[in-house]
Amino acid sequence: MARATTFKGNPLELLGNELKPGDAAPAFTVTGNDLAPVTLGDTGGVRIVNVVPSLDTPVCDMQIKRFNEEAANLAGVSVYCVSCDLPFAQSRWCGAADVDKVTTLSDYKDGDFGAAWGTMIKDLRIESRAVFVINAHNTIVHAEYVPEMTEHPDYDAALAAARGAA
Asked if 133 and 108 count as a contact pair (C-beta separation under 8 A), the reply is no
pTM over 0.75? The answer is yes
Q: 3 burial class (0-12, 13-18, 19+ CB within 10 angstroms)?
A: middle
Candidate list 60, 81, 84, 94, residue with the active-site label: 60
**pLDDT score of 1 more than 80:** no
| Percentage of the chain lying above the pLDDT 90 cut | 91
Q: 35 burial class (0-12, 13-18, 19+ CB within 10 angstroms)?
A: exposed
Q: Mean pLDDT score of the chain, rounded to an integer?
A: 94
Set out the domains of the chain in order of their start, with CATH numbers.
4-165 (3.40.30.10)
Query: What pLDDT shows up at residue 109?
Result: 96
Taking alpha carbons only, the member of 143, 140, 146 closest to residue 127 is 146
Lowest mean pLDDT among 3-12, 31-40, 62-71, 143-152: 3-12
36-64 pLDDT, tens digit per residue, is 999 999 999 999 999 999 998 999 999 99
84 is catalytic: no
User: What are the beta bridge partners of residue 49?
Assistant: 80, 132
